[in-house]
Amino acid sequence: EAQVTQNPRYLITVTGKKLTVTCSQNMNHEYMSWYRQDPGLGLRQIYYSMNVEVTDKGDVPEGYKVSRKEKRNFPLILESPSPNQTSLYFCASSFIGGGISYNEQFFGPGTRLTVL
Amino acid sequence: TQLLEQSPQFLSIQEGENLTVYCNSSSVFSSLQWYRQEPGEGPVLLVTVVTGGEVKKLKRLTFQFGDARKDSSLHITAAQTGDTGLYLCAGADNQGGKLIFGQGTELSVKP
């Protein structure tokens, strides 16, 4: 089954404790991206990657790191989480072989993060 | 910074009514996508419009891309309770891979 998986699905942590949210896709998609969703703000792009070893900042990259060492995986790293990073996080992937114009996102189920 | 203004943010209607959701920007996008999200799940793509003036229909849903590729609308005819959910528009930037989302429209269709 074609899917994007995220782990963990729920996480409660404390300020300053480094954490990693994993994301994996089995569709051989070139493009992967991380978003955060907050009430009234919609989805905001954190980082995206057009291919292995190629990453770029989205609109809200501060406080986050990513890496793309393999095509299927795109982990999101919070080196020193703070309460304002409490949010619902989504990983997504897309096939851009036909051109970046489409970039139709296939989303994971989300990770709800609470930073105390 | 590119922005997509989506309206209305909340919409509560009776089954059988029609509705339109708007997505507006001052920026030109290479494509405009519409997603639907249910509680506890990730958004699911409904449609992508690419050409200025394009109209696409998905059963009772009609999507339109503005001539200048800066705005889009989603029209639902004879809404059903199963249409309830969060609707999101997203603009694709063909320069570098960014995707800009609107704030979303929370639709509630009552029986």
Distance of CA A63 to the CA centre of its chain: 13
What are residue B85's DSSP bridge partners? Answer: B107
Task: Say how many CB pairs under 8 Å bridge A and B.
Answer: 78
Q: What is the pairing mode between strands B5-7 and B10-14?
A: unpaired
Q: Looking at the complex, does the CB of residue B45 fall below 8 Å from at least one CB of chain A?
A: yes
Q: Write out chain B residues lying below 8 Å of A56, CB-based.
A: 96-98
pLDDT truncated to tens, each residue of chain B (111 aa)? 678 999 999 999 999 999 999 999 999 998 999 999 999 899 999 999 999 999 999 999 999 999 999 999 999 999 999 999 999 999 987 666 888 999 999 999 999
pLDDT digits (tens, 9 = 90+) for A85-99: 999 999 999 988 766
Q: What's the pLDDT tens digit per position in A93-116?
A: 998 876 666 788 999 999 999 999
User: Please, are residues B60 and B74 in contact by the beta-carbon 8 Å criterion?
Assistant: no
Q: What is the pLDDT of residues A33-75, one digit of tens each?
A: 999 999 888 899 999 999 999 999 999 999 999 999 999 999 9
C-alpha distances in Å from residue A111, one per residue of A7, A12, A27, A90: 7, 11, 20, 6
What's phi and psi for A83, nearest 5 deg? -55, -30
Distance CA B93, CA B6 (A): 17
In this complex, do A42 and B104 lie within 8 Å of one another by their Cβ atoms? yes
3-state secondary structure at position A83: helix
* Helix residue spans in chain B (DSSP H): none
Alpha carbons A33 and A41: distance in angstroms, whole number: 18
pLDDT the model gives residue A74:
98
If one counts every other C-beta atom within 10 angstroms of the C-beta of residue A102, the result is: 18
Q: How far does the CA of residue B75 sit from the closest CA of chain A (Å)?
A: 20
CB contact under 8 A, B43 and A43: yes
E-strand ranges in B1-111 read 5-7, 10-14, 19-24, 31-37, 44-49, 55-58, 61-65, 71-76, 85-92, 99-101, 105-110
Q: Which residues of A touch B40 (CB under 8 A)?
A: 109-110
- B111 touching A (Cβ < 8 Å): no
The pLDDT mean for chain A works out to: 94
* Cross-chain Cβ contact A104/B48 below 8 Å: yes
Please tell me the predicted confidence (pLDDT) of residue A102: 75
Q: What is the pLDDT of residue B96?
A: 63
Q: Does B6 touch chain A (CB under 8 A)?
A: yes
